[in-house]
Homo-oligomer: A and B are copies of this chain.
């Protein structure tokens, strides 16, 4: 690995770009704003999908698929929705190219009667369909999820965090009552929080967005927010209570048990490949990415210490045996016996790529019946018995998963402050991290703070999100001097 990684201290943004490239997680493409996901990046997403998909199914959801294209008129039906998405969408206007004087041009005779929008999100096309599917209370609840690509035209892009095309899942549910829809919204927020904490080893806080940060067309947007190592917040997932807005826009009614027609209640919720960016910025270090064992495409990399002119058979046999035991035990293992790279090069590569555990097996190990085990998160090395390799790996992976979470949790705790005055707040925002402050509930104060400090209200936190801090107590907004119902979470954010 000749690739240099800029230290985080020197330039965090450059560090991020360097590790994404060096770990082969993503790269920019010649298509403006679109990224290529090489196998390392895509397999990480596949593992995230598997984890989330299991949780969606366990909460009673099924997967389905809806069209990529949305007729322009659909987007226009819900006023806030169109306002939010019309300004940054990819528009298909023609269906044919033709040759003209040796050039390939858009055929002016093949213009669509109605332009099509490449889905930025699918509420409109889905609620048009639901209006046909839902007739009676017997058809409810309807709880579907879609794994898909979406496009939101972005001028300033950043791999994983903000790209024109990205991969995501979007859940869309329909309910007979408001209470049931609200419950679904918070259930799915809990699913996201559990996934972030248990799979990604990334602590998050749960709360509700202010009106100005709401999803276009939502009544309420709930979110999980994580804190990155540079002190900036990152919105990691959102769950929206949509009220009857989309049901009204698409005339989706149902006959209730009293034979009356009612509009259906809706939710939608999504997470995206943005989570990979969050993962990198939560755990990575100056040597590269660090992947939590539960998500790592490769959990254990085995590197045989061979020499070009030696007889390496015993070493390779021992390495293969370890690989086979671990694979049988259900772990994702690679035995890297490629001749064209030396062991040191391989060590560096797996370090950059964030493989949680590396095993090295040399001639002396074979003699002793051991292997050298190195933890990616701490760098700690120790000799382990080859016969006990499965329990040793089980324990190491478990410990790493926990240690990553604990470290991230401690970091967030150490970078969360309560502001007593607006001056203190400004200094704290400058330091980075979450800053809790009272808020009078007005968009004016929110905008003023954003304008003056670049900090936004990440959420109005649910009670109990910050151990030791009673966010639910009333107080005074130091910015306006007006009464405040509770502390809210401010931060600069991605």
Query: Which residues of A does B touch, CB under 8 Å?
Result: 29-31, 34-39, 41-43, 45-46, 62-76, 82, 86-99, 104, 106, 115-118, 125, 128-129, 138, 144, 148-149, 151, 153, 165, 167, 340
Given the complex of chains A and B, what is the CA–CA distance between A90 and B66 in angstroms? 17
Assuming the A-B contacts A93-B93, A106-B93, are A67 and B116 also in contact, with contact meaning beta carbons closer than 8 angstroms in the complex?
Answer: no
Do the beta carbons of B68 and A97 come within 8 Å of each other? no
Given the complex of chains A and B, what is the CA–CA distance between A68 and B90 in angstroms? 11
Which B residues are in CB contact (< 8 Å) with A167?
65
Stoichiometry, as copies per complex, reads 2
Do the beta carbons of A94 and B91 come within 8 Å of each other? yes
**Among B66, B87, B125, contact of A97 (Cβ-Cβ < 8 Å):** B87
Do the beta carbons of A29 and B106 come within 8 Å of each other? no
Do the beta carbons of B165 and A68 come within 8 Å of each other? yes
Do the beta carbons of A90 and B92 come within 8 Å of each other? yes
**Among B67, B82, B94, contact of A34 (Cβ-Cβ < 8 Å):** B67
Given the complex of chains A and B, what is the CA–CA distance between A9 and B29 in angstroms? 52
Given the complex of chains A and B, what is the CA–CA distance between A357 and B99 in angstroms? 55
Which B residues are in CB contact (< 8 Å) with A69?
31, 34, 90, 165
Do the beta carbons of B92 and A39 come within 8 Å of each other? no
**Among B97, B138, B144, contact of A91 (Cβ-Cβ < 8 Å):** B97
6 A-B residue pairs with CB within 8 Å: A35-B67, A39-B63, A68-B118, A86-B104, A89-B95, A91-B93
Which B residues are in CB contact (< 8 Å) with A125?
29-31
Given the complex of chains A and B, what is the CA–CA distance between A94 and B151 in angstroms? 13
Which B residues are in CB contact (< 8 Å) with A340?
138
**Among B30, B42, B87, B129, contact of A64 (Cβ-Cβ < 8 Å):** B42
Given the complex of chains A and B, what is the CA–CA distance between A340 and B257 in angstroms? 12
Given the complex of chains A and B, what is the CA–CA distance between A436 and B38 in angstroms? 44
**Among B31, B89, B148, contact of A96 (Cβ-Cβ < 8 Å):** B89
* A73: min CB distance to chain B, Å: 8
Given the complex of chains A and B, what is the CA–CA distance between A211 and B106 in angstroms? 28
Do the beta carbons of A72 and B97 come within 8 Å of each other? yes
Given the complex of chains A and B, what is the CA–CA distance between A39 and B61 in angstroms? 10
Given the complex of chains A and B, what is the CA–CA distance between A128 and B117 in angstroms? 26
Do the beta carbons of A144 and B66 come within 8 Å of each other? no
Do the beta carbons of A67 and B104 come within 8 Å of each other? no
Which B residues are in CB contact (< 8 Å) with A148?
149
Given the complex of chains A and B, what is the CA–CA distance between A425 and B151 in angstroms? 51
Which B residues are in CB contact (< 8 Å) with A117?
97
* A99: min CB distance to chain B, Å: 8
Chain A to chain B: the 6 pairs with minimum beta-carbon distance, closest first: A34-B67, A39-B62, A86-B97, A37-B65, A91-B94, A95-B153
Which B residues are in CB contact (< 8 Å) with A71?
30-31
* A424: min CB distance to chain B, Å: 42
Assuming the A-B contacts A37-B64, A66-B29, A151-B68, are A95 and B104 also in contact, with contact meaning beta carbons closer than 8 angstroms in the complex?
Answer: no
